């Protein structure tokens, strides 16, 4: 084959591949990374599920960064959206109820924690969901990474679905997401030989392992390995993070993603 013909064929193949890639839309599931026209086209192509990830800015002991929940829910939501295939991920909501500030209670007793009142938090979620509904999303999913506001999420979903009655839109808060990341993950860790007194409920081995699997730079691992056992005075509740590993965390990541995806496919198909 003449050289000029080979070059012409190569150019034609490259052009076809480029056009195919453009037709498929942007290679992201993050809402904030697309333009409004790209979003319009994605909605028309069937991406009508959106995840609103909710984190929190709170202390998680001396060796875990304050944005633990935000980083974790962002990564997990992206994986869930990718596996669903028809979903996008809204920006993470990082301002959540974390206790009072006059006087400081709960995590607010530690520097860096940010809190908002429950009514402000719930109004923020409702406003975000209504905005997304206006733009054409039909399945609006709240994924909350922190246990303290799960009741707020359920109240918001109930109010939204009542106000949306008769419309094609519906709100969801799949219990499988938080269940898999808390009791479900603790059960998996016990099955892998991790002692219950190391797992913990906040900033222990479970919490720290999950973060190591999704954002290892947020854990001060060198200091953690050589530290004395942290206590509640340090912000670590009922656990010991010193033996946390990314491999243990990956067990939890896989369980959270697979169980949440299965639940959402079932719930949205039931509509």
Q: How many CB atoms lie within 10 A of CB 189?
A: 22
Q: How many domains does the chain divide into?
A: 1
Backbone dihedral angles phi then psi of residue 54, each to the nearest 5 degrees: -125, 125
Domain range for residue 78? Answer: 26-270
Backbone dihedral angles phi then psi of residue 11, each to the nearest 5 degrees: -65, -40
Please report whether residue 12 resides in a domain: no
Among 260, 206, 187, which Cα is nearest to 68's?
Answer: 206
Please report whether residue 1 resides in a domain: no
pLDDT over threshold 90, residue 6: no
Q: What CATH number is associated with residue 101?
A: 3.40.50.10310
Q: Note the pLDDT tens digit of each residue in 175-209.
A: 999 999 999 999 999 999 999 999 999 999 999 99
Distance CA 243, CA 60 (A): 16
Q: Note the pLDDT tens digit of each residue in 219-245.
A: 999 999 999 999 999 999 989 999 999
Please report whether residue 148 resides in a domain: yes
Please report whether residue 15 resides in a domain: no
Q: How many CB atoms lie within 10 A of CB 46?
A: 9
pLDDT over threshold 80, residue 4: no
Token pair in block for residue 160: 């939204």
More confident residue, 142 or 27: 142
Q: Note the pLDDT tens digit of each residue in 36-61.
A: 999 999 999 999 999 999 999 999 99
pLDDT over threshold 60, residue 170: yes
Confidence of residue 26 (pLDDT cuts 50, 70, 90): confident
Please report whether residue 131 resides in a domain: yes
Distance CA 225, CA 235 (A): 17
Confidence (pLDDT) at 7 = 62
Token pair in block for residue 55: 């984190």
Confidence of residue 269 (pLDDT cuts 50, 70, 90): confident
> Are 161 and 171 contacting, i.e. CB atoms less than 8 angstroms apart?
yes
Confidence (pLDDT) at 17 = 46
Confidence of residue 10 (pLDDT cuts 50, 70, 90): low
How many CA atoms within 13 Å lie on the side-chain side of 29?
23
Confidence of residue 20 (pLDDT cuts 50, 70, 90): very low
pLDDT over threshold 80, residue 24: no
> Are 48 and 137 contacting, i.e. CB atoms less than 8 angstroms apart?
yes
């Amino acid at each position: 084959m003449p050289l000029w013909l080979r070059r012409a064929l190569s150019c034609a193949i490259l052009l076809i591949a480029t056009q195919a890639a453009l037709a498929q839309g942007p290679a992201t599931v993050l809402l904030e990374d697309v333009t409004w026209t790209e979003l319009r086209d994605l909605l028309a192509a069937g991406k009508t599920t959106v995840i609103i990830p909710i984190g929190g800015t709170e202390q998680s002991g001396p060796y875990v960064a304050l944005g633990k929940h935000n980083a974790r829910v962002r990564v997990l939501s992206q994986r869930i959206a990718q596996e669903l295939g028809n979903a996008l991920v809204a920006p993470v909501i990082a301002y959540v109820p974390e206790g009072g500030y006059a006087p400081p209670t709960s995590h607010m007793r530690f520097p860096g924690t940010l809190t908002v009142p429950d009514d402000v938090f719930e109004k923020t979620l409702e406003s975000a969901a209504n905005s997304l509904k206006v733009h054409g999303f039909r399945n609006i999913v709240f994924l909350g990474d922190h246990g303290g506001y799960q009741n707020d999420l359920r109240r918001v979903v109930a109010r939204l679905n009542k106000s949306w009655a008769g419309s094609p839109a519906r709100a969801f808060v799949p219990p499988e997401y938080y269940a898999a990341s808390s009791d479900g993950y603790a059960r998996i860790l016990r099955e892998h030989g991790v002692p219950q007194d190391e797992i913990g409920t906040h900033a222990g081995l479970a919490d720290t392992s999950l973060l190591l699997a999704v954002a290892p730079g947020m854990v001060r691992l060198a200091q953690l390995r050589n530290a004395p056992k942290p206590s509640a005075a340090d912000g670590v509740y009922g656990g010991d993070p010193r033996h946390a590993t990314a491999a243990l965390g990956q067990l939890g990541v896989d369980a959270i993603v697979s169980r949440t995806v299965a639940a959402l496919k079932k719930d949205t198909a039931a509509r």
